[in-house]
Amino acid sequence: MKDSWTEEELEAAVEAYVQMHSEQANGEPFVKTRTYSELANRFGRTEKSFEYRMQNISYVYSLMGREWVSGLKPAKNVGPKNAAVIERLISETEGQILPKVAEFETQVICHKYKANLPKPDGIKEPEKTYTQVTNFNRDPKVKAWVLKEATGKCECCGSDAPFKTAEGEPFLEVHHLRRLVDGGSDTVSNAVALCSNCHREMHYGVNKSTLVDSMYSKLSRLVYE
């Protein structure tokens, strides 16, 4: 029985996952079981093992605050090392330089669930690192219009903005329902103004898909992409 996964196997799994992720985002049909079968025949593993690895990939997507492939519920026992490799392979496969979060967050979770976690010393002078990330050129008029349309209230929960900025403006965050990194447009039909709590929930909440879907029925300007 094969245990540790090679880089080639992980790369193939990620490439297949990213393809399904793209097809799902574009409303195109795909068959997950066919993908598992093709990978299993190629590498001599079971279809079930590839399905579970895909769930690990879903977990890394969730740590990145992104939507995962429907039906592949995130499985979190991926480990910091594999999480870092999967995150890097996602960036490479998508052709983007994305912020690295998976390795750190999986380490946090591992430490959090230890029976005994002594008070850490921390790092008094954290080392600086300089990296490049993929940025998207956005239209400032879109953000301005969405914020103005919200009139200082979260378009999801309806609560007042949690505070005012130094300019005296109500603080709300503009969120793209279909993420720009997933091919979404920077338009008012794809953007909403949210309080910080709703914004974080739409990225990381367990029911984020349901929350996102509710926005389309709530705001007539929104259009599925």
8 A C-beta contact, residue 211 and residue 205: yes
Please state, for a pLDDT cut of 70, what percent of the chain lies above it: 99
| Whole-number Å distance between alpha carbons of 61 and 65 | 6
Q: What does the alpha-carbon distance between residue 89 and residue 55 come to, in Å, rounded to a whole number? A: 15
Mean pLDDT value of segment 108-130: 90
Whole-number pLDDT of residue 173: 97
Nearest to 65 by CA among 99, 27, 16: 99
| Domain positions in the chain | 7-112, 140-218
Query: How many whole angstroms separate alpha carbon 25 and alpha carbon 122?
Result: 41
Among 131, 81, 121, CA closest to 102: 81
H helix intervals, 64-175: 80-94, 102-112, 140-150
Short-list 193, 176, 194, CA closest to 185: 176
Averaged pLDDT for residues 1-10: 82
> Which helix (H) or strand (E) is 92 found in, with range?
helix 80-94
Asked if pLDDT for residue 146 goes beyond 60, the answer is yes
Tell me the mean pLDDT in the region 123-145.
91
**Which residues face 160 on adjacent strands?**
153
What topology does CATH give the domain 140-218? Answer: DNA Binding (I), subunit A (1.10.30)
pLDDT digits (tens, 9 = 90+) for 170-203: 999 999 999 999 999 999 999 999 999 999 999 9
Nearest to 143 by CA among 180, 176, 174: 174
Going by the DSSP 8-state scheme, the letter that residue 175 receives in this structure is: E
Give the pLDDT of residue 98.
Answer: 85
Helix (H, G, I), strand (E, B), or coil: what is residue 153?
A: strand
Residue 12's contacts (CB-CB under 8 Å, 6 or more residues apart) are 39, 42, 43
pLDDT of the residue at 191: 97
Residue 206 in this model has a pLDDT that exceeds 60: yes
Under 8 Å CB-to-CB from 97, ≥6 apart: which residues? 91, 131, 132, 133, 134
Give the whole-angstrom CA distance, residue 56 versus residue 158. Answer: 35
Output the six-digit token pair for 56: 């690990």
CB 54 within 8 A of CB 60: no
Q: Which of 75, 82, 91 is nearest to 18 (CA)?
A: 91
pLDDT digits (tens, 9 = 90+) for 36-88: 999 999 999 999 999 999 999 999 999 999 999 999 999 988 888 889 999 99
CA distance 62 to 56: 10
